Amino acid sequence: QSAEDEGREWIDALIDDNVQAAEQVEESHDTVTLRNWLLDAMQALNEREQFIVRERKLRDQPRTLESLGAELSLSKERVRQLEAAAFGKMRKTLETHSAEVRQFLM
């Protein structure tokens, strides 16, 4: 193998590392952006709605509608309704970012 070939391999490896680093930075930025949008959407909820969303969707072991209903002195159907309303509010907040979301997803 010639010195020129070895030089090309080194340059190719360097370019590959830069591409991976750029992809990691972009992915990290996208993750932060999505996290900020979701935090913004959570802020649109009242305390009880935030609690329900956290307990139902953000836990490693999500709680049941029944267990939340018992804790909140509500029927499980009412907890389900509150959860659905919370997601509706979050969706509206996220729609304010719709142009950004469309750009992000493309």
pLDDT recorded at residue 6 = 54
CA atoms within 13 A on the CB side of 4: 0
d(CA 57, CA 63): 8
**Average per-residue pLDDT in the chain?**
79
The length of the chain in residues reads 106
Which one-letter amino acid corresponds to residue 87?
F
For the beta carbon of residue 45, count every other beta carbon within 10 angstroms. Answer: 20
Give helix then strand counts, H and E, for the chain: 5, 0
Q: What pLDDT digit, counting tens, does each position of 12-59 carry?
A: 655 555 555 556 556 666 778 788 888 888 999 999 999 999 999 989
Q: pLDDT category, 5, cuts 50, 70, 90?
A: low
Q: What pLDDT digit, counting tens, does each position of 67-88 carry?
A: 999 999 999 999 999 999 999 9
- Whether residue 45 contacts residue 90, with contact meaning beta carbons closer than 8 Å, is answered with yes
What is the third-level CATH fold of 3-105?
A: Arc Repressor Mutant, subunit A (1.10.10)
Coil vs helix vs strand at 60: coil
